[in-house]
Amino acid sequence: MLLVTGGAGFIGSNVVAALNDAGRSDVVVCDFLGTEGKWRNLAKRQLVDIVPPAELLDWLNGRKLDAVIHLGAISATTATDGDLVFETNFRLSMRLLDWCTANAVPLIYASSAATYGDGEAGFDDDASLGALKKLRPMNLYGWSKHLFDLTVAERVARGEKLPPQWAGLKFFNVFGPNEYHKGSMMSVLARRFDDVRAGRAVQLFKSHREGIADGDQRRDFIYVDDVVRVIMWLLATPSVSGLFNVGTGKARSFRDLMLAAYAALGARPNIEYIDMPEQIRNSYQYFTQSEVDRLCRAGYNGGFTTLEDAVKAYVGDYLDRPDRFR
């Protein structure tokens, strides 16, 4: 069997879909379904079980798994409950790392571009302890992911035992189907698509930094299909371990993202700019751009979808249809 933590979530449910498409129905999801309709992310999938996170360690006892794909986390960059985030994002990850190590099970886990903080130290996925210790995450979520990366790196540096394959993936700005339960953490495209389609003005943030135009804050936007391809490649390539950026390597502006949505619908752009909320101004990233050389040198050659092609696929296959779910 394969275990996907966070498998009812955004990236996780897309991974489950890819596993099913590849002929794997022996998939177990660890997640909360809640009351907000997150089950719809899995409504078209075949599963063995859905295990609540609180029961995971008991469930693992005596199990034999082909791999653990650990994507479950509190991923909101605005999260403020330090104890809950630490328990969920770090301590559970540590338990899974120890279990995978003891049972010789591959572990592929989600890190985050949020570990890079404001980007002042660059976006190089150097997994050495020295390089990682220079990073300064700007929010609780990024810190919790960074702390786990540091722990893995320290075990590597000390030559301690690890799972037969381990891979940490620093996801950049992922967007695509099944992100609808994420509320304010959805991509701007998903949040604003109904406005685009209805002809209403789409609101983007003004810039509060000299030299950067309104709407020109830039992110490395990556379509979820590309992320899933990387994960599936790792599952098929057990000789590869390491910490890898997962982005396109090309920063694009939020304005570019929304213009691509208008183009996908053949609609006239209508964008207005609003002040950024005070509470996020000091922790807002104005630029992220992954360096993907290490992933490519490790053998990945699946390529990355251009922003315009990704938006066109997302709009045409999901957002502009009655059923938006994969």
pLDDT tens profile 290-315:
999 999 999 999 999 999 999 999 99
Residue 113 pLDDT greater than 90, yes or no: yes
What was the pLDDT predicted at 78? 79
**pTM for this predicted structure:** 0.94
What was the pLDDT predicted at 77? 82
Element (H, E) at 196: helix 188-198
As a whole number, the mean pLDDT across the chain is 95
Residues 6+ apart with CB under 8 A from 174: 10, 11, 187, 222, 223, 224, 227
Cα distance between residue 214 and residue 255, in whole Å: 9
User: Which pLDDT tens digit goes with each residue over 46-83?
Assistant: 999 999 999 999 999 999 999 999 999 988 887 888 99
* Cα angle value 305/18/264 (rounded, 5°): 35
Average of pLDDT values for 220-239? 98
- Give the residue ranges of the annotated binding site for substrate: 173, 184, 205-208, 219, 284
- Give the residue ranges of the annotated binding site for NADP(+): 10-11, 31-32, 38, 71-75, 145, 174, 182
For residue 309, how far is the Cα from the chain centroid? Answer: 19
What was the pLDDT predicted at 250? 96
Rg (CA), the chain: 19
Element (H, E) at 100: helix 92-103
What was the pLDDT predicted at 184? 86
27 φ/ψ angles, rounded to the nearest 5 degrees: -110, 130
Average of pLDDT values for 2-19? 98
Catalytic residues: 141, 182
Average of pLDDT values for 225-253? 97
- Encoded tokens for 316: 């045409």
Range scoring the smallest mean pLDDT among 53-62, 114-123, 214-223: 114-123
271 φ/ψ angles, rounded to the nearest 5 degrees: -120, 135
The residue type found at 161 is: K
What was the pLDDT predicted at 278? 86
Cα distance between residue 133 and residue 232, in whole Å: 30
Range scoring the smallest mean pLDDT among 25-29, 42-46, 136-140: 136-140
Element (H, E) at 17: helix 10-21
Confidence label for 233 from pLDDT (cuts 50, 70 and 90): very high
Cα distance between residue 2 and residue 68, in whole Å: 6
In order of their start, the domains of the chain are 2-176+221-249+290-305 (3.40.50.720)
What was the pLDDT predicted at 286? 87
The proportion of the chain whose per-residue pLDDT surpasses 90, expressed as a percent, equals: 86
User: Which pLDDT tens digit goes with each residue over 247-293?
Assistant: 999 999 999 999 999 999 999 999 999 999 888 887 787 899 999 99
CA distances from residue 2 to 26, 67, 168 in whole angstroms, order as listed? 6, 5, 17
- Give the residue ranges of the annotated binding site: 10-11, 31-32, 38, 71-75, 145, 173-174, 182, 184, 205-208, 219, 284
Classify 93 in phi/psi space as left (phi over 0), alpha (psi -120 to 50) or beta: alpha
What was the pLDDT predicted at 130? 94
Cα distance between residue 161 and residue 278, in whole Å: 46
Cα distance between residue 80 and residue 234, in whole Å: 33
Average of pLDDT values for 222-233? 98
- Encoded tokens for 219: 């992110």
What was the pLDDT predicted at 143? 95
